[in-house]
Homo-oligomer: A and B are copies of this chain.
Amino acid sequence: MPWYPEGNPMADARKGAASPTAEELDPCDVVRSILGRVGDKWSAVVMDELAAGPRRFNELRRLVSPITQRVLTSTLRALEGDGLVTRTVHPTIPPQVEYALTDSGRALHAIIKNVAAWTDAYLGTVHAARSARKDSAG
């Protein structure tokens, strides 16, 4: 039994098109959006850094290296929007904002680590396949 819709997977789940009442919301769409989230360019890296403990914005910016400030912001907003990270503002001067993983974020991060383990196990297979592809392509 598939976890994705028969007719229109994902659709505009990330835009919240029809705003269903949570119980009507298809888990399939959520799975797809979550896969898309951890599959985007930086979310997984950010989560992995946050797994070590709460971090501040520019701290993350440095840890996640060549990420742009604009992209880091939108990445964090997206993660926050799915309840994977929390954003805590300390009203000091200068402002201090701390980002941290939630329980769900931590659980999802564990799965990401499984992908890392998978890569460790199948690195040879992947590389062989890529080489073969390169081989037949010229």
Answer whether A34 and B118 are a contact pair too, CB < 8 Å, given A48-B3, A130-B82, A134-B16: yes
**Residues of A27-44 contacting chain B, CB below 8 A:** 27, 30-32, 34-42, 44
Answer whether A126 and B34 are a contact pair too, CB < 8 Å, given A19-B134, A111-B111, A131-B22: yes
Q: Once the chains bind, are A127 and B49 in contact (CB under 8 Å)?
A: no
Q: How many copies does the complex hold?
A: 2
Q: Once the chains bind, are A34 and B119 in contact (CB under 8 Å)?
A: yes
Residue among A16, A103, A113 with most chain B CB within 10 A: A16
Q: Which residues of B contact A134 (CB under 8 A)?
A: 16, 19
Can you add 13 more A-B contacts, CB < 8 Å, to A22-B124, A34-B119, A104-B125? A4-B48, A30-B127, A31-B115, A31-B119, A32-B45, A35-B115, A82-B126, A83-B128, A83-B129, A102-B125, A107-B122, A108-B115, A111-B111
What would be 18 A-B contacts, judged by CB atoms less than 8 Å apart? Answer: A2-B49, A3-B48, A3-B113, A9-B64, A27-B116, A31-B119, A32-B44, A32-B45, A34-B126, A35-B112, A81-B129, A82-B126, A82-B130, A83-B129, A83-B130, A103-B125, A104-B122, A104-B126
Q: Which residues of A contact B (CB under 8 A)?
A: 2-10, 16, 19, 22, 25, 27, 30-32, 34-42, 44-45, 48-49, 64-66, 80-84, 102-104, 107-108, 111-116, 118-131, 133-134
